[in-house]
Structure 1
Amino acid sequence: MKKVIGLIKANVFLMMVIMTYIILTGINPQMGLQGIKNSGYYIKEMLMIMPVIFVLTALLDTWIPKETIMKYLGKEAKVKGTFLAFLLGSISAGPIYAAFPFCVMLYQKGASIKNIVIILSSWAVVKIPMLLNEAKFLGVKFMIIRWTLTVLSILIFAWITQKIIKDTDLSQVEEMKKGLFINKEACMGCTVCSKKYPAQFAMEGKKATVIESQELDHSILQSVINACPVKAIHYNE
């Protein structure tokens, strides 16, 4: 019974969504079934896209040094950082949820909160392919005015967000802890760590957990840290 209660507590939002679908289907079966069908489509799309995104993010994390990210997207990057953030978001491909693992990696490597907001916002609303279609169907003038106002809005919201949200408000500040630990909020339950290093990692429900041990095999541990697709495993001496 405790396990069931714990499972429900760990998946409150999912349970709320399921209950909403049940109630909606009871009130309006056609609308409820259409909602379930749409959700199934997006889940299928995510299962196809996200593994590729995780692999690409891991590769970029390996190839691009932290110093480079801090130089071009960090707090001191200023105008060049803003321009690059807009460029990265505008030339991106795929749905907006594909940007989250990528932005987590950038943030962990020193990108500022302002530039993360710009990347996410431009990824969502100012993609170059979308602008071309907008100009084709709604006209160039409409596209230019809408794009200009959108960019100004993104800059304003990015500035406000950076003033309100601090580094300590984000889950990634757990990296400052000492020892070996897992960022539970970032963990996606892929089981990579428990399979590669079962003596040190195990699965609790859908999240990985650290097994307390006296000695660490640092070579294996580093390979596990590098293999984690969302960079949720941290070790600080």
Structure 2
Amino acid sequence: MTVINKIKENLFLFLVVLAYIIMFIIKPPMGIESIKNSGYYIKEMLMIMPVIFVLTALLDMWVPKEKIMKFLGKDAKAKGVFLAFVVGSISAGPIYAAFPMCVMLHKKGASIRNIIIILSSWAVIKVPMLLNETKFLGPKFMAIRWILTVIAIIIFSWIASKVLKDEDLPGETVTKTGLSLNRDACMGCTLCAKNYSEIFEIQGRKAMIKTYDKTTIDKEKLQNMIKACPVNAIEYIEE
């Protein structure tokens, strides 16, 4: 059962390893080439991701949640859509560098629609990409492609925001009392579960918020627990 549970917890990684094994059995040269390509991307990620994590952590500390909600939240409307396009278009680095930042933005109140716009803009209409596109394919091609892409992003981000809900995104559990827990940041130290077991528990080596009566919450104890969290994964905002 332990092995099965491990496979379930790391299903995607298991499927990738299985795919490599099958490639090596069926066509060894393809398997070797795939390993080389994977090694290149892993090396690139090891060089880029630490910088991204540092920048994301700094933004998390410096930019108040209220600002993110005001400019990228659900109530930002057209202003939020425009800013999301700007953020995605002027960003640098490969698309996977956007994921930690988008997790942080969502945690601070950015809407799913604006997160999708940032990711889509980062992937297909970044300024450096547009400049190269103009150079090789001409300004007319670039302009028409940019306009149609922006329209498509607006439409699909609106559709996705109707299908996806905040609770569908992994990594953060939010309760009605304003208590939130970023499971992606959680390192499984168990401090919260040990010191405030009425609210917190450990599941899958990560902290979780229990269902509890909000009228019985000890705010002083909770604030001490928030300060004790080594990765600042817990947040409580008064209603």
| Class of the TM-score when normalised by the shorter of the 2 chains | 0.7 to 0.9
Opposite residue 7 of structure 2, the aligned amino acid is I
Q: Whole-Å Cα distance in 2 between the matches of residues 17 and 9 of structure 1?
A: 13
2:108 is matched with 109
1:224 is matched with 229
Opposite residue 229 of structure 2, the aligned amino acid is V
1:80–1:183: structure 2 CA closer, same or farther, 3 Å change rule?
A: closer
Using CA pairs below 8 Å that are at least 6 residues apart, which structure has the higher relative contact order? Answer: 1
Cα distance, 1:170 vs structure 2: 2.6
CA deviation map 1:173-193 (0-9, x unaligned) = 512177998654x25x7x4x6
Aligned length: 225
2:189 is matched with 194
Cα distance, 1:127 vs structure 2: 0.4
1:160–1:209: structure 2 CA closer, same or farther, 3 Å change rule?
A: closer
Superposition pairs of residues 201-216 of structure 1, within 5 angstroms: 207-209=205-207
Return 5+ residue gaps in structure 1 as ranges.
Answer: none
Q: Does residue 157 of the first structure (1) align with residue 156 of the second (2)? A: yes
Cα distance, 1:43 vs structure 2: 1.6
1:79 is matched with 78
Cα distance, 1:129 vs structure 2: 0.5
Return 5+ residue gaps in structure 2 as ranges.
Answer: 209-219
Q: Whole-Å Cα distance in 2 between the matches of residues 111 and 70 of structure 1?
A: 6
Task: Report the TM-score when normalising by structure 1.
Answer: 0.80
1:181–1:109: structure 2 CA closer, same or farther, 3 Å change rule?
A: closer
2:26 is matched with 27
Q: Say which SS state the counterpart of residue 147 (structure 2) adopts.
A: helix
Q: Whole-Å Cα distance in 1 between the matches of residues 177 and 5 of structure 2?
A: 27
- Sequence identity, in percent? 59
| Contact 1:175–1:236 (Cα < 8 Å) also in 2 | no
Opposite residue 28 of structure 2, the aligned amino acid is P
Superposition pairs of residues 56-75 of structure 1, within 5 angstroms: 56-75=55-74
Q: Whole-Å Cα distance in 2 between the matches of residues 146 and 179 of structure 1?
A: 43
Q: Whole-Å Cα distance in 1 between the matches of residues 236 and 39 of structure 2?
A: 37
Q: Say which SS state the counterpart of residue 189 (structure 2) adopts.
A: helix
Q: Whole-Å Cα distance in 2 between the matches of residues 82 and 75 of structure 1?
A: 10
Q: Whole-Å Cα distance in 2 between the matches of residues 10 and 168 of structure 1?
A: 19
Q: Whole-Å Cα distance in 2 between the matches of residues 7 and 153 of structure 1?
A: 39
1:116–1:61: structure 2 CA closer, same or farther, 3 Å change rule?
A: same
Q: Whole-Å Cα distance in 2 between the matches of residues 76 and 235 of structure 1?
A: 21
Q: Does residue 136 of the first structure (1) align with residue 135 of the second (2)? A: yes
Cα distance, 1:162 vs structure 2: 1.3
Q: Whole-Å Cα distance in 1 between the matches of residues 139 and 96 of structure 2?
A: 28
Q: Say which SS state the counterpart of residue 174 (structure 1) adopts.
A: strand
1:118 is matched with 117
1:36 is matched with 35
Cα distance, 1:8 vs structure 2: 2.1
RMSD (Å) for aligned C-alpha atoms? 3.3
